[in-house]
Structure 1
Amino acid sequence: MAAATFICTMTYQSDGQLMREVRLNYGECLSKNWQSIILWSLLDAVLPLITIALWETNKNAGFSLSIFALVNLIAKSTRSVYWLNYTLFMQNKSDHIIQPYTESDFRKDSITASHN
């Protein structure tokens, strides 16, 4: 959960031009994504404690909860690492952009592409 929170913070504090565009265009999706990752990570930390309490009375339920928590933790960790790579990639690409694109740059590219 700490790693996910750190990566989330990196995503939102990145000052790269491309990450600003991502946050501007997909802010709601990003917010839901990070809420999901952090909340499920918290639940994945609590489920094994519930498993310990259930173990004596119902081993199958305890084992199932443990497996669910483990699989979910792996999935959310994978998503967090994906976003870490995405943020670092976008930051790197932003560092190589000499100046911000303007509306005329986009029009010039679309005109060039339509003539080819």
Structure 2
Amino acid sequence: MNAQDNCIFCKIVAGQLPSNKVYEDDDMLAFHDIHPKAPVHLLVIPKSHVDSLADCGAGEGQVLARMMLKVPELARAAGCSNGFRTVINTGPDGGQEVYHLHLHVLGGPRHAWKGPLP
């Protein structure tokens, strides 16, 4: 058994676990976080498994670029008209809890955000 077999995000990509999807294409998936820290809290993940940003190489460059370029569109569609925050937690000291690269997109009125942030 490999790490991907127990990866919650790989299971979401495979359709084995439900998610509230907001975007999907051949390379990435975006969905609502089940424990939101802000009125808008989306996760954007590559469909192919990579543990963390620290494990990325040139082969992940294109999908990382596409993920970053998709974020403003997703944030606007979710109602973030006054800005948003992006976070990638990397490794244990970086606060990473799920070891499948993921990008947090947080937005909405700051007074409504819940701490601690991811």
More helix by proportion, 1 or 2? 1
Structure 1 length normalisation: TM-score? 0.27
Q: Answer 1 or 2: higher relative contact order, Cα 8 Å, separation at least 6.
A: 1
Structure 2 length normalisation: TM-score? 0.27
More strand by proportion, 1 or 2? 2
The structure that has the greater radius of gyration is 1
